[in-house]
Amino acid sequence: MAIQTIDQATYAKERALCIMAQNYAEQVMSEGGDKRVRNHLTAEEAKHPAYAACDNDMRGRVEQFELLNDTPEVFTCYVDSTGRASVWTGLPLSQRPGTVSSKWRVHSHIGTHMHQYYFTIAGREFTGRGFGEGMCITLRETAASKAKRAEVAA
């Protein structure tokens, strides 16, 4: 089963709306100056058409499209309830659940066990450590995956 994502035309339109919303927010939070003076919008400011045109679902679709079409070597994502890598809104990045190669006990307020995950995303293998479902995880492309890409490019 393939991951459902938006097409290039929809991405371009939605990315432009997200940029417009971000620019509006930056301008409001810096109150027209160069330096940010606050880190929030009021409820009234958030209703402005330039900001309201881009909602969280749209931001998630844009993030998913970018990560699947221009996958960096290192990025942060989440482990969803099915064990797949996902963006913060829950849209999947991996078709299958990740594999846990090992886990070990840790002393942390976040959880009792750390897991070493492996995911295949956009045809490349990534690994990272995390506490499990619902938690963010920083994934790095494995050396074997980088070498495989270098072979194909040569």
**Nearest of 79, 50, 57 to residue 138 by alpha carbon:** 79
Counting beta carbons within 10 angstroms of the beta carbon of residue 42, is it exposed (0 to 12), middle (13 to 18) or buried (19 or more)?
exposed
The dihedral formed by the CA atoms of 148, 151, 68 and 87, expressed in degrees to the nearest 10: 30
pTM over 0.95: no
Each residue's pLDDT tens digit, 16-57: 999 999 999 999 999 877 787 889 999 999 999 999 999 999
Average pLDDT for consecutive 10-residue bins of the chain (154 residues)?
A: 88 98 94 83 95 96 96 96 94 95 94 95 96 94 95 86
- pLDDT value, residue 78: 96
The answer to whether 146 and 127 are in contact (CB under 8 A) is: no
- pLDDT value, residue 1: 53
